[in-house]
Amino acid sequence: MLQLRPSCENCDKSLPNESNEAMICAYECTFCIDCVQKILFNVCPNCGGGFEKRPTRPKQYITKHPMQITKTVKPVQMSEFLPLRQKNKDTPPRER
Ligand SMILES: [Zn+2]
Ligand SMILES: [Zn+2]
């Protein structure tokens, strides 16, 4: 089941289930759209993949299958991340 993480891994901005700003990679790494566009350039710092908008779990299921409570906050270390961003940012995610 998709993990709905409660905040941006980089800036800790709150990303509730109904957020329009939550973006996820194929491993469910979760960032806000501002970080994805302005800092990550659509490159996941953990796996190098791209991001898509996170779907919203319907209200009728969110009590049964709630969001994660524990935050995953691990601000991006730019010096470590820059080579990966440079390598991947100009390759479409489907071709990485
Ligand atoms: Zn963020
Ligand atoms: Zn990832």
In sequence order, the 6+-apart residues with CB closer than 8 A to the CB of 23 are 30, 31, 32, 33, 36, 51, 52, 53, 54
DSSP label at residue 68 = P
Would residue 27 count as lying in a domain? Answer: yes
Would residue 56 count as lying in a domain? Answer: yes
Please give the tally of structural domains in the chain.
1
- What 3-state DSSP class applies to 7? strand
Q: What is the pLDDT of residues 84-94, one digit of tens each?
A: 999 999 999 99
Would residue 3 count as lying in a domain? Answer: no
Would residue 26 count as lying in a domain? Answer: yes
Would residue 9 count as lying in a domain? Answer: no
pLDDT band at residue 12 under the 50/70/90 scheme: very high
Query: How far is ligand 2, taken at its centre, from the CA of residue 57, in Å?
Result: 20
Would residue 7 count as lying in a domain? Answer: no
Both structure tokens of 90: 């100009």
Query: How far is ligand 2, taken at its centre, from the CA of residue 73, in Å?
Result: 14
Would residue 32 count as lying in a domain? Answer: yes
pLDDT band at residue 1 under the 50/70/90 scheme: very high
**What pLDDT is attached to residue 76?**
98
Of 60, 75, 53, 47, which Cα lies nearest the Cα of 2? 53
pLDDT band at residue 36 under the 50/70/90 scheme: very high
**What pLDDT is attached to residue 91?**
98
Would residue 6 count as lying in a domain? Answer: no
Q: Give dist(CA 66, CA 77) in Å, integer.
A: 30
Number of H helices, E strands in the chain: 3, 3
From the CA of 29, the nearest ligand is 2
**What pLDDT is attached to residue 51?**
98
From the CA of 31, the nearest ligand is 1
Q: What is the pLDDT of residues 40-86, one digit of tens each?
A: 999 999 999 999 999 999 999 999 999 999 999 999 999 999 999 99
**Residues of the domain holding 47:** 22-90
